[in-house]
Amino acid sequence: MPDEHPPPATDTEAPATLWEQQVVGERWTFYAERFDKLFAEGSDVEGEARFVDAMLPRGAAVLDAGCGTGRIANALHRMGHHSVGVDKDAGLIAIAQQRYPGVPYLACDLYQLRPDQLAAVGAPTQFDVIVLPGNVMVYMAPGSQRRVLAGLATILKPAGRLVAGFATDRDYRPSDFRADAAAIGLSVELRFSTWQMDPLDDGSGWAVIVLRAPGASAAAGRDANWAPASAWAQGAGAPPPSP
C-alpha cells in the first residue's frame, strides 16, 4: 500500500463492507440475543469497556466505532464517559437506541463519518479514545481500512488513542493494521492478545492493539504532586498522600 494519506471519501464512494455481504438483516435479532445469552451465562461482555475506561479520566469523550447493538458505548456511559456509538447497520443502531436511550447513536458508515454528523446527535466531535471492538477492522470493505483509520485520526484529540481488537486469522492481519497506522501517523503504543491484557505472540488468535496520535495530552500534568515510583527512590520525596 502507498504511504501517502488517502483522499477524503465522498458519499458515493463507500464500498460494501464484509458485514453487509455476509450478514443479512434478519440476523439482527440473533446477533443481539447472542450477547444477551453470554451475559446470562456469566460471560464477560464488558471487557472492552473496562480496558478503555482504565486509560481515561472521568468524563472523557469516547467513540465506539462499529458499535453494533451499543453494549460497549452504554457501558462506557455508565462508567462516567461521554460516549457515542456509530455503526453503518441501521438495524443494529435501532436496537441500540431502543435498549440504551441515554446514549447517542448514529447510523453512518465509518468510511464517511464527519464531525457535523456527530454534533447533530449531541455527541462530541473530538475524542480521547476511539475503540473498534469485535472484529470491526476485519469486517470493513477490503482495502478500505487505511482510509477509515485516516478519517478517524482526524477526530482524535492530540495524544488520543485508537484501540482495535480483531481476529488474527483473517485476510486483514495485525501487520496490515500496524502498517496502515504508521502510514497515517499513528504509533503503536501497546499490544495484547485479549482485552484482559494477556501478552500477544505469534500464536495468538486475537489481537488488541492500542495506537497513539501525536501531540501532548490535555490530561498531562493535571496532578502536580504526581511522580513515578522511580523518582521517589531517587530522592524526589515521599509519595503524595492518598486522596
> Domains of the chain: which residue ranges?
18-233
170 pLDDT band, cuts 50/70/90, is very high
Cell 483522499: give the residue. 7
**CA-CA distance, 211 to 178, in Å (whole number)?**
9
**How many residues in the chain?**
243
pLDDT digit string, tens, across residues 90-125: 988 999 999 999 999 999 999 999 999 999 999 999
What pLDDT does residue 134 have?
A: 85
User: Which pTM value belongs to this model?
Assistant: 0.78
164 pLDDT band, cuts 50/70/90, is very high
What pLDDT does residue 44 have?
A: 59
Lowest-confidence pick of 101-115, 171-185, 221-235? 221-235
179 pLDDT band, cuts 50/70/90, is very high
Q: Are 66 and 136 in contact (CB under 8 A)?
A: yes
**CA-CA distance, 51 to 56, in Å (whole number)?**
10
Exposure class string for 42-73: b at 16+ Cβ within 10 A, else e: eeebbbbbebbbebbeeebbbbbbbbbbbbbb
89 pLDDT band, cuts 50/70/90, is confident
Quick check: 219 pLDDT over 90? no
Architecture of domain 18-233: 3-Layer(aba) Sandwich (3.40)
